[in-house]
Amino acid sequence: MNWMNLTDKCSLILLLVIPISLFATPTFSQDTPFDRLINQFRQGQVFQAEFNHQYVDSYTEDTVATSGTIWVGEDKYKVQNSQQTVVVDGQTSRVYDKNRNRVIISTYEPSEDDFAPSRFLNGTDTTYTVQRQEQNGDQTLITLQSSDPFSIFQNVEITLGDGLNPQKIFARDHADNLITTTFNSGDFMNPRDELFVLQYPSGAEIIDMRK
């Protein structure tokens, strides 16, 4: 499953937050831009932004794009576009499909995620470590690499803007497919109780796949 299927499959957006207790960091100072970014999530802040996601197939050069709004917390996320809304609390995913007026509830399986942006933003993917952090004006480029030979991606690059707001995540997989997620009008906000509650019409069909 990967991010490019956002508008095509109901199980598609189980992509974002995996609460893992420790992030494997290399021998960088504990006050780097990436450390400060992670701390914002650990302090309960939620990152909200408009996103554009693009997947480019290296063989066919076909491009699949999708866009919407994303909210990322330390152990929760929400993704919304014109067709679907997805809320994940780290253990359970709830997907509302507007076209079918249907809600699918299932157990969140982090091992099935090919590309989970927030796992890189909040430092919860322990297989990747920071290799470089480069400052260029008000932007910071963070390069992550994996010590796992079976990891999906060769490398991941995170671009942070002013105020440590994420601007872009770029990844290249081992087949040289290119995955780019850009964030616009992004900012950190205080959490609200109703933010990660899935809203749907009272007459929607409910399918609980946990049973």
The answer on pLDDT for 183 being more than 90 is yes
DSSP state of 199: P
**Considering the chain, what percentage of its residues have pLDDT values greater than 70?**
78
For domain 3-208, give the CATH superfamily.
Lipoprotein localisation LolA/LolB/LppX (2.50.20.10)
DSSP 137-180: TTEEEEEEEES-TT-SEEEEEEEE-GGG-EEEEEEEETT--EEE
The answer on pLDDT for 169 being more than 60 is yes
- Reported as a single tens digit per residue, the pLDDT across 104-123 is 999 887 655 444 555 566 55
The answer on pLDDT for 139 being more than 60 is yes
- Per-domain boundaries in the chain: 3-208
Q: Residue 17: which of 106, 78, 84 has the closest Cα?
A: 78
The answer on pLDDT for 17 being more than 50 is no
Distance between CA atoms of residues 158 and 47, nearest Å: 15
Q: Positive or negative, the Cα torsion across 190, 191, 194, 200?
A: positive
- Reported as a single tens digit per residue, the pLDDT across 48-94 is 999 998 999 999 999 998 899 999 888 788 999 989 998 888 788 89
CB neighbour class for 22 (10 Å; exposed up to 12, middle 13-18, buried from 19): exposed
Pairing of strands 102-107, 205-208: parallel
